[in-house]
Amino acid sequence: MQTQIKKDNRPHVVIVGGGFAGLNAAKSLAKLPVRVTLLDRRNYHLFQPLLYQVATAGLSPGNIAAPLRGILRGRQNVHVLMDEVRDVDPARRTVTPARGGALGYDYLIVATGASHSYFGREEWAQAAPGLKTIDDALEIRRRVLLAYEEAEREPDPARRQAWLTFVVVGAGPTGVELAGALGEMAQYTLRGNFRSIDPAAARVLLVEAMDRVLTPYPPDLSAKAEASLERLGVTVCTGTMVAAVEPQAVTLRRRDPTLGDQDEIVPCHTVLWAAGVQASPLGKLIHERTGAELDRVGRVVVEPDLSVKGFPELFVVGDLAHFAHGLERPLPGLAPVAMQQGNHVAKVIAARLADRAAPPFRYHDKGTMATIGRAAAVAQIGRLRLSGLAAWLAWLFIHLMYLVGFDNRVLVLVQWVWNYVTYRRGVRLIVGQGTE
Amino acid sequence: MQTQIKKDNRPHVVIVGGGFAGLNAAKSLAKLPVRVTLLDRRNYHLFQPLLYQVATAGLSPGNIAAPLRGILRGRQNVHVLMDEVRDVDPARRTVTPARGGALGYDYLIVATGASHSYFGREEWAQAAPGLKTIDDALEIRRRVLLAYEEAEREPDPARRQAWLTFVVVGAGPTGVELAGALGEMAQYTLRGNFRSIDPAAARVLLVEAMDRVLTPYPPDLSAKAEASLERLGVTVCTGTMVAAVEPQAVTLRRRDPTLGDQDEIVPCHTVLWAAGVQASPLGKLIHERTGAELDRVGRVVVEPDLSVKGFPELFVVGDLAHFAHGLERPLPGLAPVAMQQGNHVAKVIAARLADRAAPPFRYHDKGTMATIGRAAAVAQIGRLRLSGLAAWLAWLFIHLMYLVGFDNRVLVLVQWVWNYVTYRRGVRLIVGQGTE
């Protein structure tokens, strides 16, 4: 079956992935004399920085996700297709979706992102889910809430404590935010909800192999983040690795310079994985089809204009791209990088269409931030370093500003103010498998 | 294993089911010198009258559901247990949950409600899901949204139209509201979202065996509802039964006085079931254990004080109860009936504790209403009959008033105003099975 998209003379740009990079590319390209096909296996754009709030019952999925078709409704030259990519043929310039016939392209933009990594221990995925999709977040919410229900009915103190132990692996922004929200839930939200257990007796362990949390930040902000986490009852275990994950326990390994490895078995039922980076499998496919270099985590090394070496009409942007031109380290996998790269590719294509030379991509760092529960956050905005309430307000403002959809912004603000005033997390619903 | 609930001298009231009847009983009983155990297999109270809005992407589950533990947090004498009932022994006064040991009771209140009925054709359930739980609503939302996605990629006109055909079976309030919302989605919400199909070409059929929609209402309101539905593009098929449900088609049977049965096969992939009433299986269990009479749909016939004949300490309330004392017809399965019965049982128990006689239950009818898409509704409030915008505003006000949780009310109002102004249904997210 050949493509159903009506043929016309405008160049065809295919974008794979509707995250920050792909969506911004689509929006910018919509203004050019091209036709655009945006492929995504999901029907929505997700505001990933707030996904941990869905996992911890503070927000609803609908607050942080918006249907791609709705966002791009007014862009008549953009066609959205809900599908995955099965193959790419850069010589013939075609993309083959999993369900349809091959699509020819003039330009191809691959923006399928990255995920967490189990460092080769994929068998841990079932017991220690990660947080990348709405389905992941709902599964984590379900496990956390069910753990309290199990604890409430468990008469044996040791087994009860195992249900009340939550281990978060990896202290990057996602891990820190998850652990902070779990601490807040235990200390405040669930207070008075149970009759047999005290939710404040829950243990939240944040496990990090490096010697401090939030390693992309300066050490003093890491120290402030650790102090905030500990005020929320989170136990921060730096210099610690996970040696084993089982359904009933986790083995933590601490490297001791004098004693060697020290293993501790922590009985627990809820392990959440927020460690490692692993590029989307499309990286490998592009490597196989173009010979492009991949980095250690599978990201595609791109040229200064974000194209793949030897294939000027094939671009890789966002978390899947390894961009290091003129930099000490490759750009991190952050939403602002992805957005700027998505917009930049549209500029490059516009320049090519006009036979102009396009400037190389340059990242404008407007700062990074992470939040650690109520009114505690750390932020680095240029030379400015904020922590505490000021950082939290900046965090809230910036996140609201970038949320897609006006109603989402208003609803999230109302929900946030309400959660803040009452310590409530109203979306504590156990849905999905096992509730029937 | 015996119950973990600390023994004290106060009478123990066990409530099964945290819907309108059970939750209201728990709240009223919390004020009495009793201890209460509320059993529910889900951890949330659901505002069922708005569930169709979740199924049609207008609201999020978190907007219309609230965790039972949170609602009852301040009621120290109320213990919430997430579990199902396996058995009841009225002679020994014990309830056995599926997972724990037997619970002794002094009073037992059964409020496990009712569901739709496939009239003995349970094999239709897979192809034609009903709408009773949040999981049902999310499954329906997923199917409706995926049907449009499939239509968008389907080049064959007949197969495309089958994806764009939605059949709602049963024109009670739920069926009418679902069909109206589906019509609104096709005519307004999805306009401009697709490039290969026109969503307004979708067919929504509302199938009803009786000769008019909303049979509990007077005929003139039914006629107004039908007219409103048809303005939204819904085809109302009264006097029509479903003879077969298959994954790709539905067979509609029209009884014709002269020609006999006329069958029509409608190719379609999305069938939603909103017909029939079937009492919760606990009705049958109570019948077996007490000899209590069941009505045709399995509801337990109750005494004037809502107790089961011969078992004054065993009450059945809400949709599971058949109450007809001094009435022409038994009370309908509506939220206000359930709420009033829940409160009444608490009064009966209070009277028993004080050795007073309790008055029999009397239902105070404050009116019934149904909505049919944007700003169209019908309502009967005492002698007052409203339709159109006035009925819709009354409907909106009353539903908001009864929503549990202040933040839910504000959020639903904001979402509603936004949906109304923009025709948007922002929660058009396809999540759950088949999205990975």
Domains of chain B: 12-41+83-116+278-353 (3.50.50.60), 122-275 (3.50.50.100)
Residue A104, helix vs strand vs coil: strand
CB contact under 8 A, A74 and B192: yes
Residue B77, helix vs strand vs coil: coil
The mean per-residue pLDDT over the stretch B342-362 comes to 96
Name which of B80, B79, B74, B71 is nearest B34 in CA terms: B79
Instruction: Choose the mutation target among A36, A80, A82, A404 for the interface with B, i.e. most B CBs under 10 Å.
Output: A82
C-alpha B417: how far from chain center: 24
> What pLDDT, on a 0 to 100 scale, did the predictor assign at position B112?
98
Percent of chain B exceeding pLDDT 90 equals 73
Q: What is the set of active-site residues of B?
A: 177
Percent of chain A exceeding pLDDT 90 equals 73
Could you tell me which chain A residue has the CA closest to the CA of B406? A418
pLDDT tens sequence across B16-42: 999 999 999 999 999 999 999 999 999
The mean per-residue pLDDT over the stretch B354-364 comes to 94
CB pairs under 8 A between A and B: 155
Say if residue A435's pLDDT is above 60: no
> What pLDDT, on a 0 to 100 scale, did the predictor assign at position A405?
66
CB contact under 8 A, A428 and B43: yes
* Sign of the alpha-carbon dihedral angle for A415, A416, A422, A428: positive
Say if residue A255's pLDDT is above 80: yes
CB contact under 8 A, A62 and B424: no
Instruction: Choose the mutation target among B35, B51, B60, B64 for the interface with A, i.e. most A CBs under 10 Å.
Output: B60
**Which residue of B1, B407, B429 is in closest CB contact with A426?**
B407
pTM value is 0.90
**Which residues of chain A lie closer than 8 angstroms to B407, CB-CB?**
414-415, 418-419, 422, 424, 426
**Which residues of chain A lie closer than 8 angstroms to B61, CB-CB?**
60, 427, 429, 431
Say if residue B1's pLDDT is above 60: no
Q: What is the ipTM of this complex?
A: 0.87
Could you tell me which chain A residue has the CA closest to the CA of B73? A193
Say if residue B223's pLDDT is above 50: yes
CB contact under 8 A, B100 and A153: yes
Using H for helix, E for strand and C for coil, what is the string for B104-130?
ECCEEEECCCEECCCCCCHHHCCCCCE
The DSSP result for B149-177, as a single string, is HHHHH--SHHHHHHHTEEEEE--SHHHHH
Q: What is the set of active-site residues of A?
A: 177
CA angle A41, A44, A46 (to 5 degrees): 110
Determine which of A179-183, B14-18, B80-84, B98-102 has the lowest per-residue pLDDT on average.
Answer: B98-102
| Contact between residue A25 and residue A109 where contact means Cβ atoms under 8 Å apart | yes
Angstrom distance (rounded) from CA A412 to CA A418: 10
**Which residues of chain B lie closer than 8 angstroms to A74, CB-CB?**
192
CB contact under 8 A, B435 and A42: yes
* Sign of the alpha-carbon dihedral angle for B148, B149, B150, B153: positive
CB contact under 8 A, B193 and A42: no
Name which of A110, A181, A113, A109 is nearest A370 in CA terms: A181
CB contact under 8 A, B436 and A42: no
Q: Where are the beta strands (DSSP E) in A34-93?
A: 35-40, 44-46, 65-67, 78-82, 85-89
- Confidence class of residue A436 from pLDDT cuts 50, 70 and 90? very low
DSSP A130: B
Instruction: Choose the mutation target among A4, A8, A69 for the interface with B, i.e. most B CBs under 10 Å.
Output: A69
Backbone φ, ψ for residue A386 (5° rounding): -115, 150
Using H for helix, E for strand and C for coil, what is the string for A356-399?
CCCCCCCCCCCCEEEECCCCCEEEEECCEEEEHHHHHHHHHHHH
- Confidence class of residue A128 from pLDDT cuts 50, 70 and 90? very high
pLDDT tens sequence across B172-216: 989 999 999 999 999 999 999 999 999 999 999 999 999 999 988
> What pLDDT, on a 0 to 100 scale, did the predictor assign at position A127?
95
**Which residues of chain B lie closer than 8 angstroms to A5, CB-CB?**
195
Could you tell me which chain A residue has the CA closest to the CA of B74? A192
CB-based contacts of A180, cutoff 8 Å, min separation 6? A228, A229, A232, A234, A371, A372, A373, A376
The DSSP result for B176-225, as a single string, is HHHHHHHHHIIIIITTTS-SS--GGG-EEEEE-SSSSS-TTS-HHHHHHH
Instruction: Choose the mutation target among A195, A197, A414 for the interface with B, i.e. most B CBs under 10 Å.
Output: A195
CB contact under 8 A, B432 and A432: yes
CB contact under 8 A, A155 and B1: yes
Q: Which amino acid is at B142?
A: R
> What pLDDT, on a 0 to 100 scale, did the predictor assign at position A78?
97
The DSSP result for B327-390, as a single string, is -SSPPPS-HHHHHHHHHHHHHHHHHHHTTPPPPPP------EEEE-STT-EEEEETTEEEEHHH
**Which residues of chain B lie closer than 8 angstroms to A44, CB-CB?**
428-430
DSSP A164: T
Give the other-Cβ count within 10 Å of B127's Cβ: 17
**Which residues of chain A lie closer than 8 angstroms to B70, CB-CB?**
193, 424, 426, 428
Q: Which amino acid is at B28?
A: S
Determine which of A250-254, A268-272, A421-425 has the lowest per-residue pLDDT on average.
Answer: A421-425
Give the mean pLDDT of chain B. 90
* Sign of the alpha-carbon dihedral angle for A126, A130, A134, A139: positive
Could you tell me which chain A residue has the CA closest to the CA of B431? A135
CB-based contacts of A408, cutoff 8 Å, min separation 6? A62, A63, A64, A66, B426
**Which residues of chain B lie closer than 8 angstroms to A12, CB-CB?**
none
Dmax (CA) for chain B in angstroms is: 74
Percent of chain A exceeding pLDDT 70 equals 95
Q: Where are the beta strands (DSSP E) in A73-169?
A: 78-82, 85-89, 94-97, 103-104, 107-110, 114-115, 165-169
**Which residue of B1, B65, B83 is in closest CB contact with A429?**
B65
Determine which of A146-150, A162-166, A361-365, A376-380 has the lowest per-residue pLDDT on average.
Answer: A376-380
Name which of A348, A351, A355 is nearest A304 in CA terms: A348
The mean per-residue pLDDT over the stretch A78-86 comes to 96
Angstrom distance (rounded) from CA A175 to CA B169: 47
pLDDT tens sequence across A177-216: 999 999 999 999 999 999 999 999 999 999 999 999 998 7
**Which residues of chain A lie closer than 8 angstroms to B67, CB-CB?**
193, 426, 428-429
Could you tell me which chain B residue has the CA closest to the CA of A191? B73
Angstrom distance (rounded) from CA B315 to CA A416: 41
**Which residue of B42, B196, B426 is in closest CB contact with A405?**
B426
